[in-house]
Structure 1
Amino acid sequence: MPFGEYRTWYRVSGDLSGGRPPLVVLHGGPGSTHDYLLPMCELSDTGQPVIHYDQLGNGGSTHLPDKGADFWTVRLFLDELDNLLERLGVAGGYLLFGHSWGGMLGAAHAATRPRGLRGLVIANSPASMTTWRAEMVRLRATLPREVQETLARHEAAGTTGTRSYFDAMRVFFDRYVCLVNPWPREYQASFMEMHNNPTVYYTMNGPTEFHVVGTLRDWSVEELLPSIEAPTLIISGRHDEATPETVRPFQDLIPDSRWEILENSSHLPHLEEPDRFREVLLAYLATVDGTQPGTRASDATTGS
């Protein structure tokens, strides 16, 4: 689909003309791809349409490796989302599911109070990158000493692209990002897409989850959260790199919100606890599908 002079890749699962508002899936990164969230296509079996897309710069969308930091902005990705909604004809009624960075992006979108937004799911997301960076320091300190030393040595030398750094990074990922071993195929696909084309991720985030030196290092959506009117489900994992400290502002500041913690998950509960994840999400969707005035997310989801 055209997005200015570029193109956004998208995929629709289910029937957009069936009367139910589609669930638009915002992947993480920034700079990842939709692949690791593909299992959510299964929701279309229940009659829930699902829209995946690759954000500009990665996957099937236009790659722009020569663009600098002034191009890769939050505003760019908000504009891309608005373009997608309008061109697919769903801006009058839709739901958002945002994972990690996608949750922050979804919150920023929802804070503008778009008339068509029926509900918002914020999954495994921090509300503030400043808090996230502080929590990354704490989580890194739980790693074996030799792993910490390897990470610090490569970061100081600027050699974060080496196999040695990757192996040390993997220790962190296996504890706080994906508990499934070996990694599911969908997650491997997104990981390698971002590894092979790291332009957006390196520019906005940095070389890895816990070494955030990019343009988003101090970004926060906390001040926007009280403006969100959509009923909101918040999801995180008990062992998540998105720790309770990073997630809590969503529940504290979004007026109509509910927080569900999946006990046997880290950052990817849809892959780590798929049955429980599906149960929680479907219960929420049942309350906001064709939302009527007075329907609240807090009336719907099970206790954590």
Structure 2
Amino acid sequence: MVTFSNCKNKEEVSSLNYFDYSNPEDQYTGGIRMIPIKTPAGEFKVWTKRIGNNPKIKVLLLHGGPGVTHELYECFDGYFPKEGIEYIYYDQLGSYYSDQPNDNRLWTNDRFVDEVEQVRKALGLNKDNFYILGQSWGGILAMEYAFKYQNNLKGLIISNMMSSVPLYNKYAEEALGPKLPKEVFEQIKTFEKNKDYHNPKYQDLLFKYYYTEHILRKPLNEWPEAVNRCFKHLNPNVYIFMQGPSEFGITGNASLKNWDVRDKLKTISVPTLVIGSKHDTMDPEHMKWMSKEVQHGRFLYCPNGSHLSQYDDQKTYIPGVIKFLNDVNENKF
């Protein structure tokens, strides 16, 4: 792993100016900004928090869900600062630390893309320093942003997200489901057929047999506190409207159910890292294919990881992301 002491941009980023909060307002809030966002339903505010200063590498983190929080990325605190990487935590509209309007008109891909663009402008990010890292739903949002605004990007990271929800559902049904004990898979499908998603038995089956295999590969009592806190803060209204009631595919009348952009990937020309994991809910072979469809792509495979591979395969995930950022910054990509 690259260390902060030998970063090639150390002339620009020292430990002193990386942790510089000399702007009085910035220091007063610890880097937190509530950014006003204009929407069809009025103006609201979204929460952001900047960590560090780097004029060349600024990474905006797009969380998953939809409707979870930036807290899924808090493990980055143990790695990115010593590498001199500036990163921005950000809760999308509807998520716990931001405003949470109760208006389903707001939960569309186009509206979220417009929100990200407003956040970019407010933070002063541009094509000379602006990277997006989006995981899961955040990967959908990252792709959609790149389709419309890639001229504003220096680099793109699509983490643990396929480019087709129908193919994702097929993978869950045909590849992952049959790996479960037969009686467990049958029970899960029965609960879903009956739309009995709130049944405690249904939730128990998912957590015991599915989530600990394909979301985060640790026993539930060993899940990181930040992950538990993130799920505790989930906004079910946004999540169910867009994703549906289960992580076992995107089901019901979820608005993302038919999302598919396979034929648009070839239009992405910015340097792109696609991350896939062996035990993920998403097909790693599809994500490897994605890395070849974009014009300048790289694939990072996490052999021990699942959906949250920044936790269960940190030894692969974190160095791979850091190397991508530094390679793009040093024109080695």
Please report the TM-score for the alignment, with normalisation by the length of structure 2. Answer: 0.82
In 1, the alpha carbon distance for the partners of 2:46 and 2:178 equals 39
Report the counterpart of residue 81 of structure 1 in structure 2: 116
How many Å apart are 1:189 and its aligned residue? 1.4
Higher-Rg structure is 2
Q: Does 1:95 align with 2:131?
A: yes
- CA RMSD in angstroms comes to 1.6
In 1, the alpha carbon distance for the partners of 2:169 and 2:274 equals 20
In 2, the alpha carbon distance for the partners of 1:246 and 1:216 equals 18
Which SS does the other structure have where 2:148 is aligned? Answer: coil
Q: How does 1:181-260 map to 2 (within 5 A)?
A: 181=219, 182-194=222-234, 197-213=235-251, 214-260=254-300
Which SS does the other structure have where 1:50 is aligned? Answer: strand
Letter in 1 for 2:215: V
In 2, the alpha carbon distance for the partners of 1:149 and 1:192 equals 28
How many Å apart are 1:237 and its aligned residue? 1.1
Letter in 2 for 1:53: Y
Report the counterpart of residue 174 of structure 1 in structure 2: 212
In 2, the alpha carbon distance for the partners of 1:245 and 1:135 equals 11
Q: 1:150 touches 1:164 (CA, 8 Å); kept in 2?
A: no
Q: Does 1:52 align with 2:89?
A: yes
How many Å apart are 1:245 and its aligned residue? 4.4
Q: 1:36 touches 1:187 (CA, 8 Å); kept in 2?
A: yes
Letter in 2 for 1:86: K
Report the counterpart of residue 9 of structure 1 in structure 2: 47
Q: Does 1:269 align with 2:309?
A: yes
In the TM superposition, structure 1's runs of 4+ consecutive aligned residues that sit over 6 Å from their partners are none
In 1, the alpha carbon distance for the partners of 2:274 and 2:191 equals 35
> Among the aligned pairs, what percent are the same residue?
28
How many Å apart are 1:136 and its aligned residue? 1.1
What's the CA shift string for 1:161-189, capped at 9, x where partnerless? 12111101111111111102221111111
Which SS does the other structure have where 1:224 is aligned? Answer: helix
Which SS does the other structure have where 2:151 is aligned? Answer: coil
Report the counterpart of residue 155 of structure 1 in structure 2: 192
Which SS does the other structure have where 2:154 is aligned? Answer: strand
Q: 2:163 touches 2:262 (CA, 8 Å); kept in 1?
A: yes
1:27 aligned to which of 53, 60, 63:
63
In 1, the alpha carbon distance for the partners of 2:55 and 2:240 equals 40
Ranges in structure 2 where 5+ consecutive residues have no aligned partner: 1-34
How many Å apart are 1:113 and its aligned residue? 4.7
Q: 1:126/1:245 Cα in 2 relative to 1: closer, same or farther (>3 Å)?
A: same
Letter in 1 for 2:45: R
In 1, the alpha carbon distance for the partners of 2:284 and 2:83 equals 31
Q: 2:130 touches 2:155 (CA, 8 Å); kept in 1?
A: yes
Ranges in structure 1 where 5+ consecutive residues have no aligned partner: 297-304
What's the CA shift string for 1:17-47, capped at 9, x where partnerless? x422301111111121111111123312211
Higher relative contact order (CA 8 A, sep 6+): 1
